């Protein structure tokens, strides 16, 4: 049954605090049995508006299509229409654009991220100066280079024009993390390394099943890839455009539909990565991507 709720009329009711241990912001998004919608504040970056919502089962929500092009990324649970769940099929790239005036949560409810592409969004991102976040506690959403972030562990990113920002930790009422949503950029030709997330999980780097969502593809050629080994030059590539997400790269059990774990507790992945494209244009052009690192206990493919 429709609740008759309109997103633009719902005041934010999700507490937000700075995460002192891992950086970024903690958002208390309620539990799966929440009786009422839980709505975050709105953050903006480069003309995009970003908001998180938990919808109880059977709840319908009116979208503000007048504000811009609306995209809905499902994080947990599902909707009754596309995009229905948190992942497209294996090997698939899918648009998350929603043109309907209303969405409805399926039987288990839904935790979603709503991206609104306002008229202020430019055709391309040519400078990191364009990507400052605005919104509550936005000082905690600080950009740093991959070299700064990982330089103590590897020289792979030295001199690379790639950056990442501390993001949003979406939490249950009991403090359990459902997903960490953060953002990164890759300039022309940047390879963000071939990896498989096989390191031992820790409180600062927990296990996750990830999906990427694209805010900007600088050259139109950037995307995910798979390969057989870290030094393999033959890559199966999957270019992704604005508003698209990809299906699972991680391995999962065909019966339970849940991620497979390695002996150390990490989610099992093949070798994969992101490769930015190149072109002949003189200006820099960044791939700008949101990474949804979902706690494997909340994932069903």
Instruction: Look at residue 2 and tell me whether its pLDDT is greater than 50.
Output: no
Per CATH, domain 138-298 is 2.40.70.10? no
Please write the tens of the pLDDT for every residue from 75-127. Answer: 999 999 999 999 999 999 999 999 999 999 998 899 999 999 999 999 999 99
- Return the pLDDT at 32: 65
- Return the pLDDT at 22: 96
- Return the pLDDT at 228: 94
Instruction: Look at residue 204 and tell me whether its pLDDT is greater than 80.
Output: yes
Instruction: Look at residue 167 and tell me whether its pLDDT is greater than 80.
Output: yes
State the SS3 of the chain. CCCCEEHHHCCCCCCEEECCCCCCEEEECCCCCCCCCEECCCEEECCEEEEEEEECCCCEEECCHHHCEEEEEEEEEEECCCCCCCCCCCCCEEECECCCCEEEEEEEEEEEEEEEECCCCCCCCCCHHHCCEECCCHHHCCEEEHHHHHCCCCCCCCCCCEEEEEEEEEECCCCCEEEEEEEEEECCCCECCCECCCCCCECCECCCEEEEEEEECCCCCCEEEEECCCCCCCCEEEECCCCEEECCCCCECCCCCCECECCCCCECCCEEEEECCCCCCCCCCCEEEEEEEECHHHCCC
Please write the tens of the pLDDT for every residue from 183-202. Answer: 999 999 999 999 999 999 99
Same fold, 15-117 and 138-298: yes
Structural domain boundaries of the chain?
A: 15-117, 138-298
Instruction: Look at residue 1 and tell me whether its pLDDT is greater than 50.
Output: no
- Mean pLDDT across 232-252: 95
CATH architecture for residues 15-117 = Sandwich (2.60)
pTM: 0.96
Please write the tens of the pLDDT for every residue from 17-75. Answer: 999 999 999 999 997 667 899 999 999 999 999 999 999 999 999 999 999 999 999 99
């Amino acid at each position: 049954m429709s609740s008759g709720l309109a997103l633009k009329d719902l005041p934010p009711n999700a507490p937000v605090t700075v995460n002192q241990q891992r950086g970024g912001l903690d958002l208390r998004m309620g539990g799966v049995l929440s009786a009422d919608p839980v709505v975050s504040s709105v953050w903006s970056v480069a003309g995009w508006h970003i908001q998180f919502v938990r919808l109880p089962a059977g709840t319908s929500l009116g979208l503000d299509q007048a504000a811009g092009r609306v995209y809905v990324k499902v994080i947990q649970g599902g909707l009754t229409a596309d995009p229905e769940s948190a992942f497209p099929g294996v090997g698939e790239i899918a648009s998350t654009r929603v043109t309907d005036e209303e969405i409805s949560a399926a039987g288990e409810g839904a935790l979603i991220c709503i991206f609104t592409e306002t008229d202020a969004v430019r055709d391309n991102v040519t400078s990191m100066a364009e990507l400052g976040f605005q919104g509550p506690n936005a000082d905690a959403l600080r950009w740093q280079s991959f070299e700064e972030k990982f330089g103590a562990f590897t020289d792979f990113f030295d001199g690379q024009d790639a950056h990442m920002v501390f993001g949003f930790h979406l939490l249950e009422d009991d403090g359990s993390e459902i997903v960490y949503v953060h953002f990164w950029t890759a300039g022309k030709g940047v390879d963000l390394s071939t990896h498989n997330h096989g390191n031992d999980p820790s409180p600062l780097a927990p296990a996750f099943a990830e999906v990427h969502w694209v805010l900007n593809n600088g050259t139109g050629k950037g995307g995910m890839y798979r390969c057989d080994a870290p030094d393999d030059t033959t890559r199966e590539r999957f270019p992704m455009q604005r508003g698209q997400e990809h299906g699972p790269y991680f391995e999962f059990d065909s019966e339970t539909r849940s991620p497979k774990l390695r002996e150390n507790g990490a989610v099992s992945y093949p070798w994969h990565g992101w490769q930015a494209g190149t072109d002949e244009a003189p200006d820099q052009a960044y791939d700008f991507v949101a990474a949804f690192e979902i706690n494997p206990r909340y994932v069903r493919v």
